[in-house]
A and B are shown apart, each in its own frame.
Chain A
Amino acid sequence: AQSVTQPDIHITVSEGASLELRCNYSYGATPYLFWYVQSPGQGLQLLLKYFSGDTLVQGIKGFEAEFKRSQSSFNLRKPSVHWSDAAEYFCAVAFFGNEKLTFGTGTRLTIIP
C-alpha cells in the first residue's frame, strides 16, 4: 500500500532562515506528489504539485520542492521564511490508477522572531 512519511513532527526556524521539510513515499509506480499547507482551523491549501518533467517545481508563496526518484523523496524548501509561514505542512501522494490521495502525518512549523 502506498504511504508517505514526514519524519519531522515539529520544526522551529528563525524568521529569515531557510527551510527544508522532508517527505518520503513508498510504492513502485510513478507518483503524483503534492504539498499542502494548513493554517489553524482552516482547510488545506495546495502549495505545489509534481507529475512529471522537471524535478524541481515551483509553488506559491515562494516555496519549491524537488523530486528525487532515487531517494523516493519530495522535500519542500523555502530560502527565507516569514512569520506568516507558521502552519502545518502535509505531503501527499497518489499514483496512476489510484485516485485516493494519501497524506503524511504533517510537520508543524513554528517561526521565531
Chain B
Amino acid sequence: KAGVTQTPRYLIKTRGQQVTLSCSPISGHRSVSWYQQTPGQGLQFLFEYFSETQRNKGNFPGRFSGRQFSNSRSEMNVSTLELGDSALYLCASRAEGYNSPLHFGNGTRLTVT
C-alpha cells in the first residue's frame, strides 16, 4: 500500500503571497490531518478533515484553511504569507476509530522570504 504523499517537498514563497499544499492519504483512509512543525513551537495541530468535512480545528488564524475532496485527497492553503509561516507542514491520514494511529507523509518544507 502506498503511503501518504505530500507535494511539493519544498516551496519558497515571498511574504504576502499565498500557497497551496497537497496531500494524498493512504488508500481507504478518510481522515486527513495537517500539522505545522517549527523548531520553536514543535508540532501544532492545524485541522482534520473526514469525508470532506472539517472535524477538528487547531488555534491558527483564518489565513490557514483546508479542504478535502471526495477521493479523500486534501489541500491546505495559507494566504497572505508571513515570515513566521516558514515551517515543515505534515499531513497524516488514519483509518476510522479513535485509537487508529496517524500515518505521516514526509512533509512540505515551506520557506517564506
Contacts and interface: CB of A to CB of B under 8 A. Distances in A.
A5 B55 CA distance: 25
SS class, residues of chain B in contact with chain A? strand
B98 A99 contact: yes
B48 A100 contact: yes
A49 B42 contact: no
B45 A100 contact: yes
Contact of B106 (A43, A46, A98): A43
Contacts of A41: 106, 109
Classify chain A's interface size.
20 to 34
SS class, residues of chain A in contact with chain B? strand
Interface in A57-113: 90, 94-106
Contacts of B99: 32, 49, 51, 94
Given A49-B99, A99-B31, A99-B56, 10 more contacts: A42-B106, A43-B90, A43-B104, A43-B107, A44-B102, A97-B98, A99-B98, A100-B58, A102-B45, A106-B43
Closest 3 CB pairs of A and B: A43-B104, A103-B43, A44-B104
Interface of A: 32, 34, 36, 41-46, 49, 51, 90, 94-106
